Amino acid sequence: MVEFKVHRVRFFDYMPSGIRCMAFHSKADRLALARLDGSVEIINFSNNYFQEKVIPGNDSRSIEAICWVGCDRLFTAGLNGEIVEFDLERLCPKYTLDAFGGPIWTAACNSEETHFAFGCEDGSVKLFEILPDKIQFERNLDRQKGRILSLSWHKSGTLIAAGSLDVIRVFDVKSGHSVQRILVDKGPAGTHNKDCVVWNVAFLSDYTIVSGDSVGKVQIWDANKGTLIKTHLVSKWDVLSLSVSENEDSIVAGTSEGTVVQFQLLSPTIGDTETQWIRTRTFKHHTHDVRAVTETKTAVVSGGLDTQLVICSLLDKVEVKPSESVLRKVIFPHRTLVSCAKKPGLLLFQFPDQLELWRLGGTDTVGKPGESLPVTRKPEKLLQLKRKGDDHICCSTISECGQWIAYSTVTSIRLYQLQCESNNISITKVSKLPKVLRSAHQLQFSADSSKLFVASEQATIHVISLSRSECKHVHTFKPKSGSSAPVHLLAASADGQWLTSANRHCEINVYNLKKLKHHCMLPVYNSLPSAMAIHPETNNLLIAHADQQIFEFSTVDKQYTDWSRKLHKEGFHKCRIKWHTPITHITFNPSAPSQVMLHDTYMFCIIDQSLPLDGLKAQFYSQLTPKDMSETDRPSKTNAFKMCTKYQPLLHVNVLEDDWLVVVERPLIDIHSQLPAPVRQKKFGT
Amino acid sequence: MAALYEGFTLCGLAAGKSRENSGLLGIEPGRDPDHVIVTGAGRTVTVYKVSDQKPLGSWAAKQGQAVTCPAVLHGQTGEYVAVQDSKVLRIWRDEDINFEKVFKATLSAAVSRIHALPSLEPLVLFQRGAVRQLDALLAAPQQAVEEVLSEDEVIRWSSCFLEAEQPLLLFSTEKSGECFLYLQKLKPNVLHKYSIDSEGKGACPISFTATLENKCITLMCLYSSGCVYKLLVSLHPSVEGEQHLPKSLLLKLPVSEGVLSRAAITSLEEGHIAIVGSPHSASTGDRDFLCIWNTNFQTLQASKELAGGAYGQLWCNAGKLYVTHGKVLTVLPYRCEMSSLAAALGKLKQTSTQEVTLSPSELNWNSLLHEETALQPRTGGAGMRTRNSKQSLTSQATLSPTINQVLEDLKGVSSEEVEEVLEPFLSCSPVSPQFQLGLSHITVELLKRCQADPGFYPQTVLARLAQTGRLSHSSCPGFLMLALEKRDYFLAQLCLQQFPDVPEAVTCACLKAFLSVADADLVPVNVDLEGVSLVDGPGHSLEGVQNGFSPVLLEEDGCDVQLAAPKLDQSSSWIDMSLTSPVGLKKSALLNEILRSSYSESFLLPHLKDLSSRQVILFLRYLQYLYVRSSGDVYTQLPGLRAPTVTQIMDWVSLLLDAHFTVLIMAPEAKGLLTQLHRFVRSQVRLYSELGKIQGTLQELGKINKEQEIGLYSIEVIELF
């Protein structure tokens, strides 16, 4: 039985950005998605839908189309007229290229991955050749009137379908001439907009073109004859996104109403070989525009203005496996955006364009469990730090003492010193940073605030010593494996001896700070670590992986501890599997170091390492159940796991001194209230 | 029954006032029945058009000045009169915009109130008890005003009446706990003083209301103990000097604890009073209610909870109650019907299906007068109104010879000729009060003849008379029995439908007659079949289970020892949809009429015992059939306008069982029926217990929702196990 006083914080106005487009690479089983703020995320579907990589956004970048080439090259094109290839190791743009056709609305890559086609505002379709290290402009197809809003290659690579205003054209790639012109109906008179915008086209290998338009129709055309085969009216508003499954037996379309409609190629009568596209399923998981939709082998993936990524398994495609067959929603990032200075009670919130520093409130009274105490000292916003430049903030941290703040964008690192005297706050930027510091994937201060660890390119970690007068580069650690994957997690031990880093290749390295050398590398586990921490007393390393597994590794003995082995023998409790979000933070209770605190979006849990792990397979108690038990029953049921689901959804949980907890919640309703109003729909009785 | 209708907010009250003070001085009638003058404490006078909830004009005194008595409308000149700072008279018209610039006259003494009378000069009551007419006062504003009241005596309440074209002012005073009443006549100037004894134990009068009737003022006085006393003040007292005024207890309000402090009373028409600020029953200590009580029968007629707490201020004007509560002034239209014992006991026939038609046995004077006022030009004064109504009365009086004539004519004519004779009478305007009287006269005469002469039975005429809807059992007592005697079931049904006050004995006699008549005998009889659903027999149309409710399931999941029995033996199941009616269609229409009639259990029970056991079983079977038919449907009423409700059916089942339980126990043929009834009751009990559980669950939900109001930051204590 543990009792905590909880700072329940809801003033972190974190607002995720809406999803604009996405591309799924089935061989790599990864989804690349671009958001409205220009950021790009790569989600690993085979690793519990973990947000593997995040490329921070940029104010001047607006992405309209995203494309994989191979499994390691990612291209985007946007309304600023630029084509960007991203460096997936350094997590920043590799190069940008102007297509000189005005805003780019759409991009498509042919099946051989030799050529790109870009649809531009000026009505041109531009062909680019894909070279090993760059792309190169080749030629324009015949320019037509009206912007090109959608493109699709035929599998053969000889034809391209292009959707424009009121018309779909088919181009012959070789000659560059338009060989077919299909007029699309404007829809019934008096509808909300006059032009029919062909938002999407898909060119199937049997020379069928599927189009989705602003009148709410999904239409199926014969590309050779230019005739309409079938019209499905799916929405009163726009059909904004369209996707064809890999084997071309299913089409999904997303609409402005928030619905996703599936069509399947079926024969209307059993035993008939003749097939046609039949509307089968309608999903309604979104409240706003579904701007992006795609289909994997087992699921329909959709995302839109309501910022959430929804992965809805198709039950006929999955083997019955409860954890797989449910609906998943990815709403919050799989990393922590909050850092906490425990001693002074400060919280640092990271937004894409600014940092906010808050001091927690307080109370003079004590209370019984379940009570809410009067707030005598209100929380205070101490600082609002706007970033410089167009690049969004990718990581930030505050030192344990609360005197240092550091943040990084893809182009620069900034370090600030903070002086807090009673009510006076002064902040000074540390002007002379060592030259090696250009950008960081992750930042971490040492426990005594004397050092800053910067995870940089090529999986290197720079150690910077901090003092009032100057900052000095002390050492650079490099992984023994020679891996260049970006480091996304750092942890330093309380005694200042150990530093561990985890990179995107699932490698975890332990460095000795005293001797300034590589100590050891943990056995590589096939799931990405999602959170990591070093025990303050035993210096054991605790790691949580994206697949919900937890390991404890003794840095001294260079092996997994007995506790870790026992945990895996008993099996981490079933109820963990119920939650799909990864553990994003591990910390320890300063007043009882045997207590490990870890949390994901929907719960936080305290594991007491001093208590026996047996009985995990027995009934797992929620926090309220044992209250009803008699006193004599209780000790025997004492569990090493103590779980709390009272606060949801969680962005951060931390244990402060004197049994205080800080819980940063972000209610979904607050996010929804900041979204624009959804399209009006007539509901019964309104 | 008196009724309070849905109210609406006329205006908000000035914010920031204390709990004791609503910030409203008074409400006075305006130019129109639909207009009121609202005087706010402090500075503002506003005229509202009530039906539109819209202010027509508003005037405010300057900062630092205060309006100290409610503004009134001078009926003759159309000007508003108010007093500012106790001593300054202000008089203005609708056109005046700036209150500062309107006429003012400074008086020599402080004014308590101004009372307006529609056709006379307003009366000004000074705080020291003197009374002046306004014109006399305006002629010499600084005239000396005598002191009538002794020192420390303060005016608590005052009211004004018009008797024989002469104004009367009644006001009550209080001096160190003692109450006095003064009656001031102006021409000649006479002042009567009365003493009212206090109730003892510190109970003091807190609110007064007075009405003038038959040269006698009825004063009703609410004491802080919750008692309402009636005091009669004669207009022409014989004795000179101070008199003691006896009081009689009219009503004792259920004040559970303590005393009333902020309560007000006002008298409405027809022996009803409205009280605000007292609880309507002793069990609820909550005092924020507006109640209408019937003083004749001491019954609560209507009540309404006032949100935000009442201030104990209540006014009545033109059929609407004005009450301050919370932060608003609310207008509640009300209606008081003439009180009768039937109405007081809630026994008056349900008028839900016939609300549009006029109430049967009474005349609506209001509508009569309203029609006339609508014809009158708006500028017409009260004098004209009286003249007009006199005219209409005289014109109606010319009808009476015709009625006598008709009665005369009826003597000696045969059954066939009766209709001919009555035709002109029946076709004349039904609104006239003479028609009402004549109708019962004629009916009684006809009934007398029928009884005397067995051959005389003008069936169609009697039916037409009954159909007028203006007869009642009390006005023609033998009507229904005659119909039964003549086996005229059509007429009997009509009487049951139309008469609001059929005695229980007669109802029972009808029931007995209906039950014993053979279905074959009813074939030639013309019966109104509106009361039965036309799809008779197996209730196909009703079989559809709505909202997932299935009475069969409810029954089957019970802990019945023979679980399978109801399934196998369909005919014995209480909830068997294929149950057929044990009586014919016409008979069931007649029985439904009985079920719908009003009755009082204690009076009905002895008469029910007269039924034979066969009749009882048949009737129970029929009731069972009705219940099954109606409970299969979620609606509580069977199709058809005049079908009985489930409640009525259940009440009759209970009554029959009460009356004949021992007989039924012994009768072997009733055994099955009783078992089914028992099973049914059990299923009902289970249903209600389930509903209770749902209610409990939902209440818990309500509590949970309350807890979820969390701000941006809070500190909580949690315990993890």
pLDDT tens figures, B502-532: 888 899 999 998 888 888 888 877 777 765 6
Q: Please provide the size of chain B in residues.
A: 721
Structure confidence at residue B256 (pLDDT): 63
Identify which has the larger pLDDT, B193 or A22. Answer: A22
Task: Write out the two tokens for A377.
Answer: 């000292």
* Residue B668 CB-density burial (10 A; 0-12 exposed, 13-18 middle, 19+ buried): exposed
Distance from the Cα of residue A312 to its chain's centroid: 17
Pick from B584, B590, B665, B581: which is nearest to B623 by CA? B581
Could you tell me which chain B residue has the CA closest to the CA of A10? B712
Q: CA A678 to CA B2: how far, in whole Å?
A: 50
How far off is chain B from A675, nearest CA to CA, in Å?
A: 19
Structure confidence at residue A574 (pLDDT): 53
Interface contact flag, A379 B713, Cβ < 8 Å: yes
Contacts of B206 (CB under 8 A, 6+ apart): B222, B223, B224, B260, B261, B263, B264, B312
The predicted-structure confidence for A613-630, as pLDDT tens digits, reads as follows 755 544 444 444 444 444
Enumerate the residues of chain A whose CB falls inside 8 A of the CB of residue B713.
7-11, 361, 375, 378-379
Q: What share of chain B is helix, strand, coil (3-state, %, to 5)?
A: 35, 25, 40
Interface contact flag, A4 B717, Cβ < 8 Å: yes
Average pLDDT over chain B, rounded to whole?
75
Q: CA B183 to CA B190: how far, in whole Å?
A: 8
Most confident of A499-503, B43-47, B121-125, B704-708: A499-503
Expressed in angstroms, the distance from the first to the final Cα of chain A is 51
Tell me if chain A has a CB within 8 Å of the CB of B375.
no
Considering only CB atoms, A375 lies closest to which of B713, B718, B720, namely B713
| A429 strand-pairing partners | A416
Contacts of B673 (CB under 8 A, 6+ apart): B617, B620, B621, B624, B664
Q: Is the ipTM of this complex over 0.85?
A: no
Q: How confident is the model at residue B121 (pLDDT cuts 50, 70, 90)?
A: confident
Q: CA B396 to CA B634: how far, in whole Å?
A: 51
Structure confidence at residue A40 (pLDDT): 94
Could you tell me which chain A residue has the CA closest to the CA of B713? A9
Tell me if chain A has a CB within 8 Å of the CB of B717.
yes
Interface contact flag, B714 A625, Cβ < 8 Å: no
H helix or E strand, kind and range, residue A239 = strand A239-244
Q: CA A425 to CA A463: how far, in whole Å?
A: 28
Structure confidence at residue B62 (pLDDT): 81
The order of strands in the sheet holding A290-295 is A290-295, A299-304, A309-313, A328-330
Q: Is the pLDDT of residue B204 over 70?
A: yes
DSSP labels, B118-167? TTEEEEEEETTS-EEEHHHHHHSTT------SPTT-EEEEEEEEEETTEE
Structure confidence at residue B364 (pLDDT): 43
B292 within 8 A of B334, measured Cβ to Cβ: yes
Interface contact flag, A5 B721, Cβ < 8 Å: no
| A217 strand-pairing partners | A233
- Please calculate the CA angle A525-A527-A530 and round it to the nearest 5 degrees: 110
Q: Is the pLDDT of residue B217 over 80?
A: yes
The predicted-structure confidence for B483-499, as pLDDT tens digits, reads as follows 888 888 888 888 888 88
Q: How confident is the model at residue B650 (pLDDT cuts 50, 70, 90)?
A: confident
How far off is chain A from B703, nearest CA to CA, in Å?
A: 15
Contacts of A100 (CB under 8 A, 6+ apart): A81
The predicted-structure confidence for A428-438, as pLDDT tens digits, reads as follows 888 888 888 88
Structure confidence at residue B642 (pLDDT): 65
Structure confidence at residue A325 (pLDDT): 60
The helix/strand count (H/E) of chain B reads as 19, 30
DSSP labels, A133-150? S-EEEEEEPPP-SS---E
Angle separating helix axes B585-596 and B613-631, nearest 10 degrees: 90
Structure confidence at residue A297 (pLDDT): 87
Structure confidence at residue A405 (pLDDT): 93
Q: Please provide the size of chain A in residues.
A: 686
How far off is chain B from A542, nearest CA to CA, in Å?
A: 22
Classified as helix, coil or strand, B553 is: helix
B308 phi-psi bin (left φ>0, alpha ψ -120 to 50, beta other)? left
pTM: 0.55
Classified as helix, coil or strand, B229 is: strand
Structure confidence at residue A443 (pLDDT): 93
Structure confidence at residue B545 (pLDDT): 39
Tell me if chain B has a CB within 8 Å of the CB of A625.
yes
Q: Is the pLDDT of residue B392 over 60?
A: no
Structure confidence at residue B423 (pLDDT): 75
Q: CA B19 to CA B277: how far, in whole Å?
A: 13
Interface of A with B in 379-408 (CB under 8 A): 379
Q: What is the largest CA-CA distance in chain A?
A: 87
In chain A, which stretches have pLDDT less than 50? Answer: 617-636
- Please calculate the CA angle B695-B633-B490 and round it to the nearest 5 degrees: 125
The mean per-residue pLDDT over the stretch B117-127 comes to: 84
Percent of the residues in chain B that have a pLDDT greater than 70, as a whole number: 76
Considering only CB atoms, A11 lies closest to which of B713, B719, B721, namely B713
Q: Which long-range contacts (CB under 8 A, 24 or more apart) does B295-301 make?
A: B295/B220, B295/B228, B295/B230, B295/B250, B295/B251, B295/B271, B296/B271, B296/B339, B296/B344, B297/B339, B297/B341, B297/B344, B297/B345, B298/B251, B298/B252, B299/B344, B301/B1, B301/B2, B301/B3, B301/B272, B301/B336
Task: Write out the two tokens for B597.
Answer: 């009639």
Enumerate the residues of chain A whose CB falls inside 8 A of the CB of residue B712.
9-11
Pick from B407, B465, B411, B409: which is nearest to B436 by CA? B465
H helix or E strand, kind and range, residue B448 = helix B433-452
Considering only CB atoms, B716 lies closest to which of A8, A361, A621, namely A8
* Matching residue, tokens 């690579």: A157
Q: Is the pLDDT of residue B553 over 70?
A: no
A206 within 8 A of A156, measured Cβ to Cβ: no
Interface contact flag, B713 A10, Cβ < 8 Å: yes
Within 13 Å, how many C-alpha atoms sit on residue A39's CB side? 24
Interface contact flag, B718 A623, Cβ < 8 Å: yes
Q: How confident is the model at residue B267 (pLDDT cuts 50, 70, 90)?
A: confident
Average pLDDT over chain A, rounded to whole?
87
What amino acid occupies position B543? E
Enumerate the residues of chain A whose CB falls inside 8 A of the CB of residue B717.
3-6, 367-373
* Residue B667 CB-density burial (10 A; 0-12 exposed, 13-18 middle, 19+ buried): middle
Q: Is the pLDDT of residue B473 over 70?
A: yes
Contacts of A485 (CB under 8 A, 6+ apart): A89, A459, A503, A504, A505, A507
